[in-house]
């Protein structure tokens, strides 16, 4: 499957052409269709050397749109039970809705899981069973309290539009190991994050690194299905195109730009076949389907389960960076529980808990978890005091997220918030640190992964970021 991964020396198309006495003309149409790994085009997505040995070859980013409440999920705070209904006594920062209620307890009890004894709430009973594989961070902070800026920040390291997404940075730095799929895929579950598609854009990096939006379904990717009635009809067109293009090359002269544009059609053609194959899960066993929650009676669980399963299949194909957005659940606006958190978080957790646990377990049993980094996070956490009577407002001052596999230290619990779960007080870290750590696990030094733009060597982490070595295995 990773056909490039084990090649010692890579013969690029250009070298091949140079070495070939007959030049480009010798590359017949068959080659366009051929499954010959060695013929892969040199280009923006060619695999590149890492700065040091990588632990994670692929990254699956589980984006919990809207912000999960830390005190209801991974950061138990008994004090909230004690002071439930009383005014919040710590100094408060302004909140988005400015509708401050009293201290609000969690609706979900916590239980210790695994050998590490990690506390996980009743929201995530399945994920809890993977506790020994999770590296939990309880002291994450973000600089923004609104979704849009916080999303941009989480995805791109800047609170504004137009910067390259972390997936774009990863593919820019590592290239793709997959010759018939894009290196950076967003598996859209139905919710487009606040801030829109720009969370997945390549910003000032070349468009080749842009996230490709896949939908879990029959037409997973824009323009991926040929419109010709049969493959033969398209193939003959492509044959003619090739012939005319070569004629053009003879006439205009052989220029890199033209040649790579011609080569581009090869990748496109392969994708036409590979993508539908990828999303066709007929071959998956009933056991596997059950593991991912595809047999669940709850629609959103089935839908997220399918995304998780396809994510695994993409990892198998060598896709570098896969982001999963959440499914749409009617009656809930993402994880954004400004009111009735009980229903909101209950429904959302029900949708993702079993599929995520299934993904972790499946990767593990296939021996792929060590080389696949899973990151679970929202753009911020939520207030330990109520918004109104039964919701929680945005709060970026101390929230929880976890990493799993791909070199993350299983069972680690890093950092702590205060007694209320409001502010990080121990090992306080910021999202730049998460980015730095993700890149580190993927074999890249976040300070060396740069792109010259606007008179500066730009980085995902700007001028910040420290690798969280304590959660690295």
Partner 1 sequence: MMKWPRLATRLCFFFHILLFAFPLAAEEKLSPQELEFFENKVRPLLSEKCYKCHSAGRKEPKAELYLDTRQGVLAGGESGAALVPGDPSKSLLIEAIRYENPDLQMPPKKKLSAAQIAVLEKWVRLGAPDPRLGKKVVAKTDDEAFDVQERKEAHWSWRPVVNAVPPAVKDRGWPRSPLDQFILSKLDKAELEPNPDAPRRTLIKRTSYALTGLPPSADDVERFVADKSPGAFAALVDNLLKSPHFGEHWAQYWLDLVRFAETKGHEADYPIPEAWRYRDYVIRGFNSDVPYDQWIIEHLAGDLVRSPRIDPELRTNESIQGTGFWYLGEATHSPVDIRGEESERIHNQIDVFSKTFLGLSLGCARCHAHKFDAISQEDYYAMYGYIQSSGFQLADVLEPLRKKEIAVALLGLRETEARKINASFARGKRTQFERLPEYLTAAAEVLKLGPLAGAPAGDSSDIIFEDFEKPGYAGWMVKGLAFGAGPRSQVNLPDYQGDVGARGKGFVNSHSYTVKGKIHAGDELIGSMHSPHFKIERRFINLLVGGGSHKNSTCVDLVVNGKPVASVVGPNLNKMVARSMDASAWAGARAQLRILDSSKGGWGNIGVDHIVFSNKAAAGPAEAGDDAGLAGRIADVAGKRKIQPDVLRRVVAHVERAKKDVHDPLHVFSKLCGAENSQAAVKVRDSVVDQLRRAEVEHQARLAARKVVSNVKNGERNYTKVERKWAEREDLVVDYDDPGADGWIVSGYRFGAGPLRRGQLLIGDEGRPVRGYVEVGRADADEASRKFYGLLRTPTFEVVGDTLWYRVRGSCEAFLAVDSHRTVHGPLHGGVRKRIKGDANTWRWHSHPVRNYLGHRIHIEFSNFSESFAVARVEFNAGTPVDGSPVNQVVLKHIAGLKELGIAGAAAAFSKQLIASMEALDPGASGVGGRGGHARLLNWAIGREDMLEARRPGDLEKLVADYRKSRSELEKTIPGTLRTLAMLDGSGENEPLHIRGNHKNRARENVPRSILTALRTPSEKPGVQARGSGRLELAERLVDRKNPLVARVMVNRVWHHLFGRGIVESCDDFGVMGAPPSHPELLDWLAHHFMENGWSVKNLIRTILLSRTYGMSSSPQTRGSELDPQNRLLHRMGIMRLPAEAIRDKVLAVSGRLDRRLFGKGVMVHITEFMRGNRSPGGSGPLDGNGRRSIYTEVRRNHLPSMLLAFDRPVPFMTMGKRVLSNSPAQALILLNDPFIHQQVDIWSKRLFAQKGLGDKALLVQAYNEAFHRSPRDGEVAAALQFIAAQGKLYDKDSRQQAWRDLLHTLMNVKEFIFIN
* Residue 340 in the binding site for partner 1 (CB under 8 A): no
Near partner 1 in 43-82, by CB under 8 A:
43-44
* Residue 253 in the binding site for partner 1 (CB under 8 A): yes
Pick between residue 132 and residue 146 the one whose CB is nearest to partner 1.
146
Near partner 1 in 173-192, by CB under 8 A:
182, 188, 190-192
Residue 394: alpha-carbon gap to chain centroid: 22
Q: Rounded to 5 degrees, what are φ and ψ at 19?
A: -75, -20
* Residue 456 in the binding site for partner 1 (CB under 8 A): yes
Angle between helices 256-279 and 299-317 (to 10 degrees): 140
Pick between residue 37 and residue 90 the one whose CB is nearest to partner 1.
90
Binding mask 380-399 for partner 1 (x = CB under 8 A): -----------------x--
- Measured CA to CA, the distance from residue 465 to residue 153 in angstroms comes to 13
- Measured CA to CA, the distance from residue 60 to residue 317 in angstroms comes to 13
| Token pair 């830390």: residue | 70
| Residues ≥6 apart with Cβ < 8 Å to 25 | 246
To the nearest whole angstrom, how small is the minimum distance from the Cβ of residue 291 to partner 1? 28
* Residue 245 in the binding site for partner 1 (CB under 8 A): yes
What dihedral do alpha carbons 388, 430, 139, 105 form, nearest 10°?
A: 10
- Contact 345/68 with Cβ under 8 angstroms? yes
* Residue 303 in the binding site for partner 1 (CB under 8 A): no
Beta bridge partners of 103: 385
* Residue 346 in the binding site for partner 1 (CB under 8 A): no
Span of 246-254, 284-292, 310-318, 368-376 interacting with partner 1 by CB under 8 A = 246-254
Span of 13-21, 32-40, 116-124, 234-242 interacting with partner 1 by CB under 8 A = 234-242
| Angle, CA of 394, 71 and 471, to the nearest 5° | 100
To the nearest whole angstrom, how small is the minimum distance from the Cβ of residue 405 to partner 1? 27
Residue 431: alpha-carbon gap to chain centroid: 15
Q: Which uninterrupted H or E stretch holds 381?
A: strand 381-382
Angle between helices 431-441 and 166-174 (to 10 degrees): 30
Pick between residue 50 and residue 260 the one whose CB is nearest to partner 1.
260
- Contact 353/207 with Cβ under 8 angstroms? no
To the nearest whole angstrom, how small is the minimum distance from the Cβ of residue 457 to partner 1? 8
Near partner 1 in 108-137, by CB under 8 A:
none
* Residue 447 in the binding site for partner 1 (CB under 8 A): no
| Token pair 């323009």: residue | 223
Span of 12-20, 144-152, 297-305, 435-443 interacting with partner 1 by CB under 8 A = 144-152
* Residue 219 in the binding site for partner 1 (CB under 8 A): yes
Span of 72-80, 255-263, 345-353, 401-409 interacting with partner 1 by CB under 8 A = 255-263
Which alpha helices (DSSP H) does 188-321 contain, by range?
231-252, 256-279, 286-291, 299-317
Residue from 89, 236, 365, 389 in contact with partner 1 (CB under 8 A): 236
Pick between residue 91 and residue 286 the one whose CB is nearest to partner 1.
91
- Measured CA to CA, the distance from residue 64 to residue 342 in angstroms comes to 16
* Residue 12 in the binding site for partner 1 (CB under 8 A): no
To the nearest whole angstrom, how small is the minimum distance from the Cβ of residue 97 to partner 1? 5
Residue from 29, 425, 472, 473 in contact with partner 1 (CB under 8 A): 425
- Tell me the site size for partner 1, rule CB under 8 A: 94
Near partner 1 in 194-213, by CB under 8 A:
194-198, 201, 203-208, 210, 212-213
Pick between residue 54 and residue 326 the one whose CB is nearest to partner 1.
326
Pick between residue 181 and residue 403 the one whose CB is nearest to partner 1.
181
Span of 119-127, 166-174, 254-262, 361-369 interacting with partner 1 by CB under 8 A = 254-262
- Measured CA to CA, the distance from residue 60 to residue 323 in angstroms comes to 6
Near partner 1 in 260-299, by CB under 8 A:
260-262, 264-265, 267-269, 271-272
DSSP string, 101-156: EEE---SS-EEEETTTTEEEETT-HHHHTTGGGEEEEEEEE-S-SSHHHHHHHHHH
Pick between residue 199 and residue 372 the one whose CB is nearest to partner 1.
199
| Angle, CA of 52, 58 and 62, to the nearest 5° | 125
Residue from 87, 117, 248, 299 in contact with partner 1 (CB under 8 A): 248
* Residue 98 in the binding site for partner 1 (CB under 8 A): yes
What region does 173 belong to: left with phi over 0, alpha with psi -120 to 50, or beta?
alpha
* Residue 437 in the binding site for partner 1 (CB under 8 A): no
């Amino acid at each position: 499957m990773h056909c490039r991964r084990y090649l010692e020396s890579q013969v690029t198309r250009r070298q091949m052409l140079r070495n070939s006495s007959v030049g480009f003309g010798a590359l017949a149409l068959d080659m366009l269709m051929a499954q010959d790994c060695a013929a892969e085009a040199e280009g923006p997505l060619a695999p590149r050397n890492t700065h040091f040995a990588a632990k994670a070859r692929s990254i699956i980013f589980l984006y919990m749109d809207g912000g999960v409440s830390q005190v209801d999920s991974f950061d138990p705070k008994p004090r909230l039970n004690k002071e439930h209904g009383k005014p919040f006594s710590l100094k408060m920062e302004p909140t988005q809705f400015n509708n401050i209620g009293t201290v609000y307890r969690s609706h979900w009890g916590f239980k210790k899981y695994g050998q590490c004894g990690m506390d996980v709430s009743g929201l995530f009973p399945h994920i809890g069973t993977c506790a020994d594989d999770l590296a939990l961070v309880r002291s994450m902070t973000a600089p923004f309290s609104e979704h849009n800026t916080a999303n941009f920040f989480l995805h791109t390291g800047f609170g504004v539009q137009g910067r390259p997404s972390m997936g774009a940075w990863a593919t820019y730095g590592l290239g793709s190991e997959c010759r018939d799929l894009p290196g950076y895929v967003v598996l859209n579950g139905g919710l487009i994050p606040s801030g829109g598609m720009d969370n997945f854009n390549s910003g000032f990096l070349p468009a080749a690194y842009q996230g490709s939006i896949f939908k879990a379904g029959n037409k997973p990717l824009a323009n991926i299905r040929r419109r010709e009635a049969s493959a033969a009809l398209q193939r003959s067109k492509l044959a003619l195109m090739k012939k005319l293009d070569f004629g053009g090359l003879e006439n205009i002269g052989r220029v890199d730009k033209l040649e790579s544009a011609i080569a581009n059609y090869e990748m496109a053609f392969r994708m036409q076949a590979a993508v539908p194959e990828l999303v066709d899960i007929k071959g998956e066993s009933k056991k596997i389907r059950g593991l991912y929650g595809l047999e669940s009676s709850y629609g959103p669980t089935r839908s997220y389960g399918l995304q998780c399963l396809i994510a695994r299949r993409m990892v198998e194909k060598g896709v570098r960076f896969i982001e999963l957005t959440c499914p749409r659940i009617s009656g809930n606006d993402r994880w954004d529980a400004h009111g009735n958190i009980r229903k909101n978080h209950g429904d959302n957790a029900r949708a993702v808990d079993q599929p995520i646990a299934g993904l972790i377990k499946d990767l593990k049993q296939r021996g792929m978890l060590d080389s696949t980094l899973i990151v679970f996070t929202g753009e911020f956490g939520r207030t330990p005091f109520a918004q109104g009577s039964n919701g929680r407002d945005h709060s970026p001052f101390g929230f929880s997220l976890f990493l799993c596999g791909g070199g993350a230290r299983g069972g680690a619990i890093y950092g702590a918030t205060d007694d209320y779960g409001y502010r990080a007080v121990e090992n306080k870290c910021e999202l730049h640190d998460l980015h730095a750590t993700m890149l580190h696990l993927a074999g890249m030094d976040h300070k060396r992964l740069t792109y010259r733009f606007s008179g500066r060597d730009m980085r995902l982490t700007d001028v910040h970021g420290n690798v969280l070595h304590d959660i690295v295995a």
